[in-house]
A = this chain, B = another copy of it.
């Protein structure tokens, strides 16, 4: 064996060594959920994932059937003191007000402009719908997406003084990554507007637009005078992806039953029930907001994210109830 062959073999050995080192690193026992405190909740997640991904095991699930659905508001990001999408709508009212002098004397706009929450509550559902109509319709889908992106880039949450899309839950980001690394396809199934969520879901959660299921308004295809097609958002609700609407939305958009679902409120109860009722191994999780210091503490009597019946059902049926205060090491990612 002359020296050139030996040099080549040495190079090969080095190369193979690097390959092996890489493989070893990939297989090292690093914690995939470092922001979750050790305990029963964390174990219930990792045990489930090991069970459904162990080939030959009794609970093995083929990768294409590993569907995981997550509510968004209160499950993947915060929802207090107002649903962030409603805060977006109120900010839009302020931005649009100069073109609508009549709003100064007309409810619900008057209260919206004054930041008068009591007045808004008095305006009721009808008022909310009016606010959503003028802020979420009458423009193309492209224009709306740009408006949402612009708002996310500039607006700051009143309590934390951070952009809204930084108030996502670090432990859930890790959970989404962990599920995907184990062959799951992760979906959002939320009462929030589908086009609002798509403006940030890929960046914030690694969830692409086609895996976001949400409420929607009627959209109409139109052709411009110059022959350019556009999609125009109309002021009419088409689908409410909340409560019993969630299994309906899952059926419509995904067409398979999830084996893993996470929510935080009674609006998620039917999604969790639908998930639980399938055959084979199942995971149902609920985020219980118990941390007034780092986030908020609320459940049965909250106007936003009310968690009452689902908490009882989850407790009775042994679903995983995350106690935010004790189960999460951190709530939000570090400020950027």
Binding site for B on A (CB under 8 A): 1, 6, 9, 12-13, 15-16, 64, 67, 141, 185, 187, 194-195, 198, 202, 208-212, 216, 219-221, 223, 228-229, 231, 244-245, 247-248, 251-256, 270, 273-274, 277
Contact = CB atoms under 8 A, between A and B. Distances in A.
Contacts of A274: 221, 229, 231
17 contacts: A1-B1, A1-B6, A9-B12, A12-B16, A16-B16, A64-B202, A64-B208, A67-B210, A194-B255, A209-B255, A210-B210, A216-B252, A221-B247, A221-B270, A223-B273, A228-B277, A231-B247
Nearest to A224: B277
Contacts of A229: 247, 270, 273-274, 277
Contacts of A245: 221
A9 to B, nearest CB: 5
A130 to B, nearest CB: 24
Given A229-B270, A247-B229, A253 B12 contact: no
Output the residue of A67, A253, A270 with the most chain B CB within 10 A. A253
Q: How many monomers of this protein are in the complex?
A: 2
A219 B194 contact: no
Given A16-B12, A195-B255, A248 B231 contact: yes
B255 A212 contact: yes
Nearest to A270: B221
B252 A210 contact: no
Contacts of A16: 12, 15-16
Contacts of A185: 210
Nearest to A211: B210
B253 A210 contact: yes
Contacts of A6: 1
Contact of A210 (B13, B15, B221, B256): B256
Contact of A252 (B208, B219, B248): B219
Output the residue of A12, A195, A221, A245 with the most chain B CB within 10 A. A221
Contact of A219 (B141, B212, B251): B251
A210 B141 CA distance: 22
A209 B277 contact: no
A72 to B, nearest CB: 14
- Which 9 pairs from chain A and chain B are nearest by CB? A209-B255, A221-B244, A210-B254, A198-B255, A221-B247, A9-B9, A229-B273, A219-B248, A209-B256
B255 A210 contact: yes
A248 B223 CA distance: 13
B194 A252 contact: yes
A202 B202 CA distance: 25
Nearest to A8: B13
Nearest to A255: B209
Contacts of A195: 255
Contacts of A12: 9, 12-13, 16
Given A12-B12, A210-B211, A219-B251, 11 more contacts: A1-B6, A9-B13, A198-B255, A216-B252, A219-B252, A220-B244, A220-B248, A221-B247, A229-B270, A229-B273, A253-B253
A326 to B, nearest CB: 31
A183 to B, nearest CB: 13
